[in-house]
């Protein structure tokens, strides 16, 4: 059965795996102090054009979000996010588990925050005489791409970042699928632009070629000086840190991370055309690797017999928004099979 259920339904890219094989016998320092982590850090800083960055490797996305956010907030502060943000919906309360509130502001469009809404919230908060009774805004969290596959433009990101800077709030960009954003033709900026328009972000490995692993980049030497201990405290420090370092070293060698991300976009656009040709509406215009066709329930059931995908939401009693996801590993044969089944 073909699967478009997620972008993490298989193992690692062959070059990543090969690097794990090649380095397996080498004895190293533990907890991320090894030569592979060090090499990966240097390559990532070079790719980001942020020589002053601090780079850390963690195992997964929810863990990364909770650890980064907790490291940057004081006890009385919360993190601003739109209501559909991943930390607010599908992380089982992991941020609240660190005792911090997620301060919801309006979702402007699918998965995205509007700079105007952020500014209004902050302006009103700072002018509210009773704000000492509220969770204090301590940072801003956005996802890129968003949970709906949508992207910020360079101008939008710049606007949000300017507001953050004006209010002295760090901006954190969750890049669980970062490769698929940057590989999209709809993205009008590159990795260095991102790295220069936020205070911390992570480069998702789990969904883009690795067995596991996310690379956190504090862009201007602004990691908490005890971030290592905070990782440990969160259970977010692998004893064999090399396992993550080796993989990111491979992903950032010869442009691999970006090259393999391209495949997800190419196949997603083919998939999109299949849905349009079939006459399905698209719930949201996503230029990345997640597509959201709206289908009649009978059609959903028919497809479920042959294809793995996700029911996302009901639009009415008879129609369902479905999510189909491609990845670096999606094959032309997967797409052709999809076309035959759907068509």
Q: Please, what sign has the CA dihedral across residues 124, 129, 132, 133?
A: negative
Could you tell me the smallest distance in angstroms from the CB atom of residue 137 to a second copy?
Answer: 11
Contacts of 273 (CB under 8 A, 6+ apart): none
The DSSP letter of residue 135 is: P
Could you tell me the smallest distance in angstroms from the CB atom of residue 3 to a second copy?
Answer: 5
Could you tell me the smallest distance in angstroms from the CB atom of residue 12 to a second copy?
Answer: 6
Closer to a second copy at the Cβ: 100 or 197? 100
Contacts of 115 (CB under 8 A, 6+ apart): 156, 159, 160, 162, 163
Dist. CA 236–CA 227, nearest whole Å: 11
Closer to a second copy at the Cβ: 59 or 187? 59
User: Encoding tokens for residue 324?
Assistant: 């189909």
Could you tell me the smallest distance in angstroms from the CB atom of residue 129 to a second copy?
Answer: 7
Could you tell me the smallest distance in angstroms from the CB atom of residue 115 to a second copy?
Answer: 20
Could you tell me the smallest distance in angstroms from the CB atom of residue 311 to a second copy?
Answer: 7
Tell me, rounded to whole angstroms, the distance of Cα 130 from its chain centroid.
35
φ, ψ for residue 46, nearest 5 deg: -70, -45
Asked if residue 177 lies in contact with residue 204, where contact means CB atoms within 8 angstroms, the answer is yes
Closer to a second copy at the Cβ: 133 or 168? 133
Closer to a second copy at the Cβ: 51 or 235? 235
Closer to a second copy at the Cβ: 13 or 197? 13
Q: How many CB atoms lie within 10 A of CB 1?
A: 9
Q: What angle, 0 to 180 degrees and rounded to 10, lies between the N-to-C axes of helices 242-251 and 14-23?
A: 130
Determine the straight-line distance between the first and last CA of the chain, rounded to whole angstroms.
17
Place of tokens 């790295």: 195
User: Encoding tokens for residue 51?
Assistant: 């020589």
φ, ψ for residue 288, nearest 5 deg: -120, -155
Mapping DSSP to helix (H, G, I), strand (E, B) and coil, where does residue 312 land? strand
Could you tell me the smallest distance in angstroms from the CB atom of residue 104 to a second copy?
Answer: 7
The DSSP letter of residue 167 is: T
Closer to a second copy at the Cβ: 137 or 287? 137
Could you tell me the smallest distance in angstroms from the CB atom of residue 193 to a second copy?
Answer: 27
Closer to a second copy at the Cβ: 278 or 311? 311
Asked if residue 142 lies in contact with residue 171, where contact means CB atoms within 8 angstroms, the answer is yes
Neighbouring C-alpha atoms within 13 Å toward the C-beta of 168: 3
Could you tell me the smallest distance in angstroms from the CB atom of residue 331 to a second copy?
Answer: 10
Mapping DSSP to helix (H, G, I), strand (E, B) and coil, where does residue 23 land? helix
Place of tokens 């940072």: 139
């Amino acid at each position: 059965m073909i699967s478009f259920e997620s972008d993490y339904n298989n193992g690692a890219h062959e070059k990543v795996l090969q690097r794990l094989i090649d380095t397996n016998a080498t004895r190293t320092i533990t907890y991320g102090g090894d030569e592979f982590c060090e090499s990966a850090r240097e390559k990532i800083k070079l790719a980001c054009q942020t020589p002053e960055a601090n780079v850390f490797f963690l195992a997964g996305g929810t863990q990364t979000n909770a650890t980064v956010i907790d490291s940057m907030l004081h006890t009385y502060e919360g993190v601003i996010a739109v209501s559909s943000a991943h930390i607010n919906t599908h992380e089982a309360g992991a941020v609240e588990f660190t005792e911090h509130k997620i301060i919801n502001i309006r979702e402007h469009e699918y998965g995205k925050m509007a700079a105007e809404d952020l500014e209004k919230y902050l302006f009103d908060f700072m002018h509210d005489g009773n704000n000492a009774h509220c969770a204090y805004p301590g940072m801003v969290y956005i996802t890129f791409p968003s949970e709906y596959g949508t992207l910020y433009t360079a101008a939008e990101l710049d606007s949000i970042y300017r507001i953050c800077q004006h209010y002295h709030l760090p901006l954190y960009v969750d890049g669980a699928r970062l490769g698929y954003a940057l590989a999209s033709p709809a993205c009008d900026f590159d990795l260095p632009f991102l790295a220069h328009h936020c205070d911390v972000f992570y480069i998702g490995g789990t969904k883009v070629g690795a067995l596991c692993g996310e690379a956190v980049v504090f862009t201007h030497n602004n990691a908490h000086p005890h971030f290592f201990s905070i990782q440990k405290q969160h259970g977010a420090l692998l004893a064999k840190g090399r396992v993550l370092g080796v993989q990111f070293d491979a992903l950032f060698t010869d442009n691999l991370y970006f090259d393999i991300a391209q495949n997800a976009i190419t196949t997603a656009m083919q998939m999109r055309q299949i849905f349009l040709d079939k006459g399905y509406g698209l719930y949201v215009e996503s230029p990345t690797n997640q597509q959201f066709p709206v289908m009649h329930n009978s059609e959903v059931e028919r497809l479920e017999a042959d294809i793995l995908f996700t029911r996302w939401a009901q639009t009415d009693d008879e129609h369902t928004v479905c999510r189909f996801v491609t990845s670096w590993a999606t094959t032309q044969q997967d797409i052709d099979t999809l076309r035959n089944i759907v068509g």
